[in-house]
Amino acid sequence: MDPVCSAASSAASSIDADLLSWLRCVECGHQRLRLFDTRIVCASCHTSYDVRPPGIPRLITHQQAQRNAVHEQQWDTMPLADYEEICRANGPVWEAIDAVTTKYCSGVVLEVCCGHGRFLDVLTRTRHVTRAIGLDISVAMLRAAWNKGHRLLIQGSADDSPIRTGAMDAVASSGSGLSFLPREHTYAEIARMLRPEGFFVFDLLNFWPSIIDETWRQYIAKGRLPRRDVLREYKLADNMRDARREVELLGRAGFRLVEMKSVRYVPWFRGRVTKLGYWPGFWGTKIGYDTVFVCQKRR
């Protein structure tokens, strides 16, 4: 057998049997997908999807792939050691986010923008979580999560998700991954995936504290303050500027806000502080580093 075909066949056979029961076709929305030797095929429109070694289905449309190409390439080419250093540097912030997020995660939980599985590790240790599924645009990150033992992994985009309607008990995102997605459409997609009264818990980076951090970083590196172009840089421009606008978009998608907490921001000393705490409400989003939203889908 050709080595490429052999690897693809092995990848398809490695897919967890339960995973197909939560998936749908992203082209037509049909819920019956068939697993063949090397592919997943929709029983309705016959669209065929790759299974990436070691067993990760890629359910993404051509339009999605084009829209996410820059983001996908950035994370696919990032050295794993660099990503793990980011995790270590942001450890206290993400611990504060996780402490809120895990309180609302139970049953079958989908993590969108799961990266290399840092929060999937947390979910698998969470008492009331029965299954933790990871969705990410980067196959390199998903392979790193696979190597940590996670098997319910999907390559796809949260703004046009391959998860069936009403299939999830909770959807979570920890690490501000939604900062880089079209959020109005993404919130509607997440509402579609959730059962009635299911929880959606996620965080967004706040704009101005991020700008202060980046300005200081560039000043230290280059000895001068950056130009105004820093306000439009890829990793900063879509950070949250107005929490009230986010709450409005969430309401349109069918969510009610349960709570909102902003992780305390301590510029220049963040690496030395291990217990950050929170600032509540809308005023906290103006000065907090990262804001955690807890939402519940309305009946």
Range of the structural domain that residue 162 is part of:
73-297
Beta carbons of 223 and 287 less than 8 angstroms apart: no
Instruction: Report if residue 58 sits inside a domain.
Output: no
From 31-40, 145-154, 221-230, the region with the lowest mean pLDDT: 221-230
Q: Are 136 and 240 in a shared domain?
A: yes
Q: Are 8 and 82 in a shared domain?
A: no
Q: Are 233 and 280 in a shared domain?
A: yes
Give the chain as a 3 state SS string.
CCHHHHHHHHHHHCCCCCHHHHECCCCCCCCCEEECCCEEEECCCCCEEEEECCCEEECCCHHHHHHCHHHHHHHHCCCHHHHHHHHHHCHHHHHHHHHHHHHHCCEEEEEECCCCCHHHHHHHCCCCEEEEEEEECCHHHHHHHHHCCCCCEEECCHHHCCECCCCEEEEEECCCHHHHCCHHHHHHHHHHHEEEEEEEEEEEEEHHHHHHHHHHHHHHHHCCCCCHHHHHCCCCCCCECCHHHHHHHHHHHCEEEEEEEEECCCCCCHHHCCCCCEEEHHHHHHHCCEEEEEEEECC
Residues 159-191 have pLDDT tens digits of 999 999 999 999 999 988 888 788 999 999 999
Q: Are 220 and 81 in a shared domain?
A: yes
Q: Are 169 and 259 in a shared domain?
A: yes
Q: Are 197 and 290 in a shared domain?
A: yes
What CATH number has the domain bearing residue 195? 3.40.50.150
| pLDDT band (50, 70, 90) for residue 37 | confident
The domain total for the chain is 2
Q: Are 94 and 156 in a shared domain?
A: yes
Q: Are 23 and 127 in a shared domain?
A: no
Q: Are 188 and 96 in a shared domain?
A: yes
Q: Are 225 and 274 in a shared domain?
A: yes
Instruction: Report if residue 61 sits inside a domain.
Output: no
Instruction: Report if residue 169 sits inside a domain.
Output: yes
**The pLDDT value given to residue 17:** 77
Instruction: Report if residue 202 sits inside a domain.
Output: yes
Q: Are 263 and 153 in a shared domain?
A: yes
Q: Are 116 and 40 in a shared domain?
A: no
pTM, entire model: 0.88
pLDDT > 60? residue 246:
yes
Residues 125-141 have pLDDT tens digits of 999 999 999 999 999 99
**The pLDDT value given to residue 222:** 78
Instruction: Report if residue 175 sits inside a domain.
Output: yes
Instruction: Report if residue 151 sits inside a domain.
Output: yes
Instruction: Report if residue 261 sits inside a domain.
Output: yes
Instruction: Report if residue 60 sits inside a domain.
Output: no
d(CA 283, CA 206): 12
